[in-house]
Amino acid sequence: MRASEEVYDEFCADMLGIGLNQRQVDILAMRLGYCKGRKKHTRKEARLALDLTVGQLRHSDEGALMRLQYPTRVEAAKKWGIWGPNWEPCPAWKRRATNEEAPGKNKHEKKRQSQ
């Protein structure tokens, strides 16, 4: 087994181990260049290789990245270079962590109080 195949197998094992499905793992491997020794694929190349529509690829790609933002999965994402050292969680997670309400959530309630 060549070194590139070992890297690919390790990447797949890590990503499957944290809860991504096989399609998401394949897309990330292709986009990051871990796919069996090949350079990074473009979205179009990945879509054609996996026989996906544009929407299917985008949905799986975004779903994988959202899953990797979860705090217990961030270390695996950093290990494989998916998130940089200055990565910040999305605003919804910050609100959840501080128990804040989403902006504009109770806009009707505020209107009633001001009348």
**Percentage of the chain with pLDDT > 70?**
66
Provide the mean pLDDT of the chain.
76
pLDDT digits (tens, 9 = 90+) for 66-86: 888 888 888 888 888 777 555
Residue-level pLDDT at 96? 43
pTM: 0.67
**Beta carbons of 41 and 35 less than 8 angstroms apart:** yes
Q: Is the pLDDT of residue 1 over 60?
A: no
DSSP state letter for 41 = P
pLDDT digits (tens, 9 = 90+) for 16-35: 999 999 999 998 888 888 87
- Map tokens 């270390």 to a residue: 75
